[in-house]
Amino acid sequence: MLVRHRSHTLLFKVMICLFLVSVVGFSACAKPVPTPAPTPSPAPPVAPAPAPPPTPTPAPPPTPTPGAGTVEVRATDAPPTGVSSIVVTVKNIQVHKAGAPENTWITVVKQEKTFDLVDIQGAEVFLGEEEVAAGRYTQVRLDVTEVMVTLEGKEIPAKLPSGKLKLVRSWQVEPGKKTILTLDFEADKFVVITGKEQAQVKPVIKLQVSQGERPLKTSTPEPTPPPPTPPPTPPLSLSSTAFQDGENIPAKYACDEQDVSPPLAWSEPPQGTQAFALIMDDPDAPGRVFTHWVLFNLPADSRQLSEAIPAEAQLTNGALQGKNDFGKIGYGGPCPPPGRPHRYQFTLYALDQPLDLKAGASKKQLLSAMQGHILAQVQLTGTYQR
């Protein structure tokens, strides 16, 4: 009975299954198979991020010594008139703290320092600095080892006071701060001119005190405008109506005919001209330069020489004539030997003063007397041939 019941039950299930297959398909009767979960793919390796560069640590500012400050020493000046240079050399600049034993000094500047008081007029020069204990200070002292004064272009060593120079004034050095001591030499009192070539140093120095950092004072004098440029003076010129420069001198002015001096004229001379001089010579003469005419102390306002100047020691305008190589006073015209032409040079000199020469002076004496007095010179050349 039990077998029959199970058969009927199985048959019933088969019939239901067939019915479902016809309606919805095979899968309705299939035993569900669990679907395995998909295996995740391994993630690709990630490169580690580069480490950031280390941030530089700024150097800490220098830590001042607890309970200490800085003393800086400078120098300044206002020099006296008439003195072009006062070169001072100092060393061993020391300060003294209030309450310390008298022989206890702190050196701020040990080595020698040299400076020109004229150069630092209205300015300052740095001498040195040193860290010292904070507190109140009352004195400064220093050695002045040399003072050289330049007066009217000459260097004079100044007489120095014996011992150290000492300045008394109270000032405070604050911890971690700077105190600036400026030595004001007041050169018009510091250096006294005692004679034409004598000077003496007086212990007159002011002490200026300031607190905190500040730049050195610098001197920036107003630029001096250049003096106005005077109009250029045209160069001195010399000419003759008888011949042109480089051309033949007419026979009228030579020994072959009248043997008189040619007319000459010149332009305005340089400013300051006080006299003129004239030399005529022949550089082509055999064996030496032959002198034909020496004339000097022509007035400063003269601008010409007329034809045929007389052979006199002194002319009516005050000019004097020297002796030529013919052995005569005044002009001697061209007189070369037969052959090639000779050059005859008329040289005019503008002088800053009349010459202390007597009539009859030679060309050599005239040239010597003119040394250092020639403001300008010009030359006119003519030729002559026989």
User: Mind listing the pLDDT tens digit for each residue in 187-214?
Assistant: 677 787 777 778 888 878 889 999 998 8
Cβ-in-10-Å burial (0-12, 13-18, 19+) of 10 comes to exposed
Mean pLDDT, 10 residues at a time, the chain of 386 residues: 45 50 45 47 50 54 72 73 81 94 93 87 89 95 91 84 87 93 82 78 87 82 70 87 96 96 96 96 93 97 96 95 95 94 97 95 95 95 96
Per-domain boundaries in the chain: 68-211, 238-384
pLDDT at 61: 53
Give pTM, 2 decimals.
Answer: 0.44
Question: In terms of Cα–Cα distance, which of 183, 179, 152 is closest to 77?
Answer: 183
CATH class of 238-384: alpha beta
Question: In terms of Cα–Cα distance, which of 285, 292, 295, 382 is closest to 340?
Answer: 285
Please state the length of the chain: 386
Identify each DSSP E strand in the chain by its residue range: 68-76, 83-97, 106-109, 113-116, 125-133, 135-151, 154-157, 165-173, 178-184, 191-195, 198-201, 206-211, 238-239, 264-266, 275-282, 290-299, 304-305, 320-321, 342-351, 374-384
pLDDT at 77: 66
pLDDT at 323: 96
Question: In terms of Cα–Cα distance, which of 153, 87, 75 is closest to 118?
Answer: 87
Helices within the chain (DSSP H only): 2-24, 187-190, 363-370
pLDDT at 81: 61
**Residue position matching structure tokens 């061209």:** 334
pLDDT at 328: 95
Domain pair 68-211 / 238-384, same fold: no
CATH number listed for the domain at residues 68-211: 2.60.40
**Residue pLDDT, tens place only, 145-198:** 999 988 777 888 888 887 788 999 999 999 999 999 999 887 677 787 777 778
Question: How many angstroms separate the Cα of 44 from the Cα of each of 39, 47, 115?
Answer: 15, 10, 78
pLDDT at 126: 92
Question: In terms of Cα–Cα distance, which of 90, 124, 87 is closest to 107?
Answer: 90
Residue 69 dihedral angles phi and psi, to the nearest 5°: -130, -175
pLDDT at 30: 45
> Measured at the alpha carbon of residue 314, what is the angle toward residues 308 and 319, in degrees to the nearest 5?
85
Residue pair 361/293 in contact by the 8 Å Cβ criterion: no
Q: How far apart are CA 115 and CA 91, in angstroms?
A: 12
Name the DSSP letter for residue 132: E
